[in-house]
Each structure stands twice: as structure tokens, then as C-alpha cells.
Amino acid sequence: MENSKGTVKTKGEFKEMVKDIRVAMLCTHSADGHIHSRPMGTTEVDDEGNIWFFTRESSPKTEEIEDNPDVCICYSAPDDNTYVSVMGTAQLIHDPKKIEKLWNPLIKVWFPEGKDDPELLLIKIDTHSAEYWDSSSSKMVVLFNMAKALVTGKEYNEGEYGKINL
């Protein structure tokens, strides 16, 4: 799909957009049908555009994913005026080789027993659609353009919006 400027973002561009945003909001469906969101540290966005997280098997989110695997992941980098919303299907993965590949010593903060922690589990998000809002302008330029829109009565152009081909 195309954005307002006629360009299409690719999986590689998506990966680049979120690579420095270490924490995302993972949104699942709770048993009562409400949306439940929590911050998660992104472990990896692979070349296929899949998003990987470490989690604890006994975490409430694992039951929510088992009941309804449709999820949303939201990335926000206000300092860069970059926002990405990703829709996908979550899978719970027990794979010691993948855990080894993705392991980072900082993860031990949440899993003191390390890679062999029996509670350690991966969440893989098979992404299927994404939208982004991006402005390459600095905060000062954004504030100036907002003030200009207020004074002139013209609609504020908040930057580039589009879809990402996943």
C-alpha cells in the first residue's frame, strides 16, 4: 500500500525504523475481552519482519496469547517523531537453539537462572500489517509548524503516514 507521498515502506525499512526503539507496547486480549497492554523489550526483528520477545511461561500474557493470538505491537520514539503500530499473530515458542541465538546477558535480570530457566519462553509475532507516522523534523520545527497552523487556521501537516509491506 502507498502512503500520502506515494512511497512504500519495506520490511527492511520497518526494521530500520524500530531498531533503536528497545521497548514496545504488546497488546493482547484479556479473558474478559478487553485490550491488555504491557511494555516489552524487543529482542529481535528478523529479516522476515517477525518480532521476537522473551517472556515467562507463567505470565498472564501467555494464556491471553493461547486464547487469542491476535496482537498489536506499538513502537513510539517521540524524540524522533516516529510511531509504528504492528498487527500480527503471536506464537509461544520453546526452542533452546533460538533462545541461545537471541540471548543477551541483560535478559538474566528477568531470568536469573539464565538460558536454562524452565520458565523461559519466546514470543514470536508473525507480522501481517503495519502503519507508521514519521516526521523527520526536529521538535522545534514541529512546534513552529503547529503554531503556524494555529495562527493561519490551516491544517497542521504532521509528517509522513503510510503502511508497511510485511
- Which pLDDT score is estimated for 118? 93
Q: Spell out the residues 6+ positions from residue 49 whose beta carbon is closer than 8 angstroms to its own.
A: 11, 14, 15, 127, 166
Could you read off the pLDDT of 100-129 as tens digits, one per residue? 999 999 999 999 999 999 999 999 999 999
Q: What is the pLDDT of residues 17-49, one digit of tens each?
A: 899 998 999 999 999 989 999 999 999 999 999
Rg for the chain, CA atoms, rounded: 18
Task: Note the pLDDT of residue 163.
Answer: 74
pLDDT at 145 over 60: no
Interval 124-143 mean pLDDT? 74
User: What is the pLDDT averaged over residues 5-22?
Assistant: 81
Q: Is the CATH code 2.40.10.340 the one for domain 11-164?
A: no
Q: Which residue has the higher pLDDT, 115 or 147?
A: 115
Query: In the chain, where are the structural domains located?
Result: 11-164
Please give the share of the chain, as a percent, with pLDDT higher than 90. 61
The pLDDT, as a whole number, for residue 13 is 86
pLDDT at 33: 87
Nearest-angstrom CA–CA distance, 152 and 104: 51
Share of the chain above pLDDT 70, in %: 78
Indicate whether 162 pLDDT > 60.
Answer: yes
Average pLDDT, the chain: 84
pLDDT at 148 over 60: no
- Closest by alpha carbon to 74, among 85, 60, 64? 85
Q: Can you give the pTM of this predicted structure?
A: 0.81
Counting every residue, how long is the chain?
166
Q: How confident is the model at residue 82 (pLDDT cuts 50, 70, 90)?
A: confident
DSSP string, 91-154: EEE--HHHHHHH--GGGGGT-TTGGG-TTEEEEEEEEEEEEEEE--S-HHHHHHHHHHHHHH-P
